[in-house]
Amino acid sequence: MSGIVDSIKEIGILPVSISITALLIILITVFLIIRRKKFKSVVLKETCGVHAFPKTTHELTLYLKDNLVKLLEDIDEERFKQAHETVEGYLKTISENFLLVVFGEFNAGKSSFINALLGEEILATGIVPTTATINRICYGDTAKQEIVFNDGRTQVVEDKEALFSYLVDEENLKRIDYVRTFYPSNKLRHLDIIDTPGLNSVFTYHEERALDFVHKADGVLWLFHPHQGGSQSEKEYLQGIKDYGKHIIGIMSHKDTIKSDEDISRLKDFIVDNFGDFIDQLFTISSRQALQSTISGDERGYVESGIGETEEYLTQNIFDRTKRAKIESVILSSQKSASHVSMVMGRELEQLNETKEFWDCIAGIIAQEDSSINRDIHRRVLRNLQFYFEQPRAFARQEIEKVFSCKEKFFACFRRKRDFTFSLNNEFWETLDTGGLESSIGAIIEHIKQRRHEILKRVEMELIIENEKRKKSGQELLGIENNRLAEEIHDQSPFENNEENLAQTFLQEDVPRVFSAHISFAELYGTRGKCFSQAKAELERMVFGSILDRQKMLFRHIMNRLIRMNEKVNNRLVQYLSACILRGSSDPDEFRDMMSLLERQKKGIDDVVDNLKRLCVCGNLGDESSVNVN
């Protein structure tokens, strides 16, 4: 122990402390690395699952196709045309070669760049007829060209002169889909290159056809001309391509026309500053110098041209891994398109939920007020009918008193009158005050109208407040502009043309109107009047019961008519307001079904997005060694 202490004293305390600290740092770092690897392994297991994950090109292709089909089922083609075209294009071409599309404005040097990239002058350059159409360069055992027409027909051309003479005619150009050029280059075995007409050229038809290739492209090369590049139109084109989720590689051409390296650096900085958000990489080349150096074997000129750096990047990312690059392009582009659609649908669902909540509030107000109106109708009809039938009750009471007067009882006892018939006939009922009943029913109808207008005003105010909120947040307004909303609703009043004489209709209902009660006095004889009170009570019960039955029946008829009328008015109001609030849907159930469908579609899209993310995490897309490319 003393030896160790002596050794520490000889070496010094500070170096020993530093060594121990360094050793601790190394141990902690190793521990964290091991722990991170274990954590990553656990995450991968949770993310990818315990089942075998597709790794070979064939397995990944089948897995992708299945997910792309699901995407197409859930993406609305009319609303998301761009995303639908992208996914549909990939589904059709996923098993085909990698499609590298070369874009750029007119005279940017696209054909010259392709010649330099392939090491031979395959395509004609300059302002020639072939630059006015789309050229597709594919692998072939021998070099040849053929015209592919819009209807799918093909025509082999013998030489460039024959092709030029055909393409000079503008009408012929409109019948052509593209010109296919076959060339025996190893770079083209799993790669097709699309040479597009110059954008902003006079050939607008083929410019549109060139843009149709955007959703089919697996990779995009964009050529900037150093002396005319950086325009606003280029930015718009690049933004559109980026919206499809495409990787864009920038190429600044005509390097040999730039005077100094400082000017080259300045132009590159300008492009990066203005277009850096759209392009992944930027290379500067001289296509003419590159092609001449390749043909002559000038290695120095080849390096100076800049094509070597460009080709190295393309080789690492595309040429040496075309199968995986194709799958990677499909995954990333489809994922971006699907994520965009999901995001839009998510925002739409949020707004629809807000609209539904607002509609539930309005529907609650309408239902509450409608229930209150029905209670009012019940109370008012009942009160009016009770008042209306007081007169027949009083008349019946007088008639009963006449029947059981002392005179009638005397005759019944001493003359032994055996029976008596008491009746309330049509003549009795016609003495009722029908005019008063009509007035009372009319007053009830006017009350219903007034209550309905109060509901309209309340709903109108709620709509105005809601639309003001939506204006501030930039959301779509509900129904009509708030300044015209009240006028529009009142103009659509469901009470129009509904002024019928309900009371007269009710009084003409098929209701028994004749009542008669047969009373036998034979049983009362000799009772010395003790049973007359019982007979009177029985007669009153029958007469007033008949009047009450008449009153109840009339009450039911009036209530049914008024309730049906109010229900009809309420249904019209609900239909009108739901059409204003629920995006033109007059049936709230249809709106809910539409929301449910949208939710199912979004969930289906989100599931596919998750699957594509899992492919990126677990599919080893960058590992070509495990891929069977056959």
Residue 594 inside a domain? The answer is: no
**Would you say 322 and 596 are in contact if contact means Cβ atoms under 8 Å apart?**
no
Residue 79 inside a domain? The answer is: no
- Residue 65 to residue 71: CA distance in whole angstroms: 10
Report in angstroms the alpha-carbon separations of 413 from 281, 399, 407, 409: 126, 20, 10, 6
**Would you say 244 and 82 are in contact if contact means Cβ atoms under 8 Å apart?**
yes
What is the DSSP secondary structure assignment for residue 627, as one 8-state letter?
-
Residue 192 inside a domain? The answer is: yes
503-549: pLDDT as tens digits: 454 455 444 455 566 555 555 544 444 466 777 777 788 888 888 88
Residue 611 inside a domain? The answer is: no
Residue 263 inside a domain? The answer is: yes
- Residue 211 to residue 99: CA distance in whole angstroms: 14
Are 42 and 157 found together in one domain?
Answer: no
Residue 63 inside a domain? The answer is: no
Are 377 and 269 found together in one domain?
Answer: no
Are 179 and 324 found together in one domain?
Answer: yes
Beta bridge partners of 156: 146
Are 387 and 505 found together in one domain?
Answer: yes
Are 307 and 365 found together in one domain?
Answer: no
User: Domain containing 144: what range?
Assistant: 96-334
Strands 135-139 and 191-195: antiparallel
Tell me which residue of 135, 207, 205 sits closest to 170, measured CA to CA.
205
Phi/psi for 185 (5° steps) reads -120, 135
Total of domains in the chain: 3
Report in angstroms the alpha-carbon separations of 64 from 215, 279, 288, 367, 563: 17, 26, 41, 51, 60
pLDDT at 482 over 50: no
Are 470 and 508 found together in one domain?
Answer: yes
Report in angstroms the alpha-carbon separations of 529 from 103, 419, 517, 518, 520: 120, 15, 20, 19, 14
What 3-state class would DSSP assign to 146? strand
- The answer to which of 24-28, 284-288, 365-369, 372-376 has the lowest mean pLDDT is 24-28
Neighbouring C-beta atoms of residue 528, cutoff 10 Å: 9
- Residue 611 to residue 103: CA distance in whole angstroms: 32
**Would you say 215 and 241 are in contact if contact means Cβ atoms under 8 Å apart?**
no
Angle at 594 between CA 588 and CA 600, to 5 degrees: 140
Residue-wise over 599-627: b if at least 16 C-beta within 10 A, else e?
Answer: eebbebbbebbebbebbeebbbbeeeeeb
Strands 248-252 and 281-284: parallel
Are 330 and 400 found together in one domain?
Answer: no
CA–centroid distance for 281 within its chain:
35
Q: What share of the chain is helix, strand, coil (3-state, %, to 5)?
A: 65, 10, 25
Report in angstroms the alpha-carbon separations of 13 from 2, 6, 20: 15, 11, 11
State the CATH number of the domain containing residue 252.
3.40.50.300
As a whole number, mean pLDDT of residues 376-389 equals: 86
Are 406 and 476 found together in one domain?
Answer: yes
Are 296 and 149 found together in one domain?
Answer: yes
> What pLDDT is recorded for position 345?
92
Residue 530 inside a domain? The answer is: yes
6-31: pLDDT as tens digits: 554 555 555 656 667 777 777 777 76
29-87: pLDDT as tens digits: 776 776 665 544 444 444 454 445 666 777 888 888 899 899 989 998 888 888 888 88
319-369: pLDDT as tens digits: 777 777 888 888 888 888 888 899 999 998 988 898 888 888 888 988 998
- Residue 243 to residue 237: CA distance in whole angstroms: 10
Are 325 and 405 found together in one domain?
Answer: no
Residue 346 inside a domain? The answer is: no
Are 303 and 251 found together in one domain?
Answer: yes
Phi/psi-derived region of residue 37, left when phi > 0, alpha when psi is between -120 and 50, beta in every other case: alpha
Are 32 and 109 found together in one domain?
Answer: no
- Residue 454 to residue 373: CA distance in whole angstroms: 11
596-623: pLDDT as tens digits: 999 999 999 999 988 888 877 665 554 4
423-460: pLDDT as tens digits: 666 666 666 667 777 778 888 888 888 888 888 888 88
Q: Where are the beta strands (DSSP E) in 98-208?
A: 98-104, 135-139, 144-149, 154-157, 176-183, 191-195
- Residue 224 to residue 106: CA distance in whole angstroms: 10
